[in-house]
Amino acid sequence: MLKSENSEVMTVAQAQGAVLGECLLWDPTAQRWWWTDIEASTVHAWPAESSTTLTYKLPDRVGSFAHCHSGRMLMGLAKRLCFASIQNTSDEAGTRPLQVQPLIAVDPAEPRTRINDGRTDRRGFFVFGTMNEAAEKRPIGSFYQYSMQHGLRRLALPAVAITNSICFSIDGKTMYFADTLTRRIQQCDYDAESAHVANIRLFVEMEGPDAYPDGSVIDRDGCLWNAQWGAGRVVQYSPSGELLRSIRVPAKNPTCPAFGGKNLDQLMVSSSRQEMTADELLNMPHAGSLFYLNMPTPLGVLDTLFDDTLPVAKSS
């Protein structure tokens, strides 16, 4: 048990049975929570103050996504980036197809990888990673940055098996990232315009043999909150990596924390039903759901919208 763990427990916000719920984001414009169930090739939207979940079916699995300035969504499907437009804004429940506009292939010659974790940086460029889906889990995944201005650029970070924990300091100059299987979150200096990374260093190492770093988010104080797969908890670390707080989640595999709600004072986390025994699923019937905890003060920082404006033409 973590020495800073206390009696705080998150409760069910929206009961779901997601196989692999991920990429939880708050949309302040529409006042909705968005997340993906990767293995179901779906993206869900849950309007605040409603019991209705809207479901959009995609032609492939969605590892991560971002909202755009134009109102579109940038989707990281298994092997390509795409734009998608939400045509039906009705809050009626049901599943509806979502048409996509392909942008660019990612690792097309490597059948073992797919797009996994991703998030916009503070400039509005999309930073994401790939993971190895093969059983041997060799570190063949990479980190990329995509923008309309510069296209797809590979970041000079070590190869990984499972990319996760991508997030950025408030000033945008530090990038956090993880290879989940190493059980460590790292950080590096980051420049959005040049896609330059440097000074790779350890941020934190997981405590306890069952804890693996999944998604992370930065709060307004620069603290990092991490969902720890296998350990059933969300943990807050200071900017220097000191463990500040551990909150229990009644699901073995929480996946992605996020802050949202009207005042950005609600901590939410998605979860997964993968890698659980029959007994664990019986004892944790809400695995795959969204869980929440109200914070005493607003801690959230809105994600930067993806900059999908057209590149500025260079003068001849």
Query: Domains in the chain, please, with CATH?
Result: 5-294 (2.120.10.30)
Predicted TM-score (pTM) of this structure: 0.94
How does pLDDT run across 278-291, given as a tens digit for each residue?
999 999 999 999 99
* Contact assessment for residue 214 and residue 221, using Cβ atoms and an 8 Å cutoff: no
pLDDT band at 313 (very low <50, low <70, confident <90, very high): very low
At residue 316, does pLDDT exceed 60? no
Mean pLDDT lowest among 10-19, 100-109, 305-314:
305-314
- Please report the pLDDT score of residue 48 as a whole number: 77
Amino acid 309: pLDDT = 87
pLDDT score for 97: 83
DSSP, collapsed to helix, strand or coil, labels residue 228 as strand
- How far is residue 127's CA from residue 286's CA, in Å, rounded to a whole number? 31
For the segment 46-73, what is each residue's pLDDT rounded down to a tens digit?
Answer: 987 777 889 999 999 999 999 999 999 9
What φ, ψ does residue 172 adopt, rounded to 5°?
80, 5
Of 222, 210, 295, which is closest to residue 254 (Cα–Cα)? 210
Per-residue pLDDT for 219 more than 60? yes
Distance CA 36, CA 59 (A): 13
Q: Specify the pLDDT at position 113.
A: 98
Of the candidates 98, 78, 95, the one whose C-alpha atom is nearest the C-alpha of residue 87 is 98
Over residues 132-174, the pLDDT tens digits come to 999 999 999 999 999 999 999 999 999 999 999 999 999 999 9
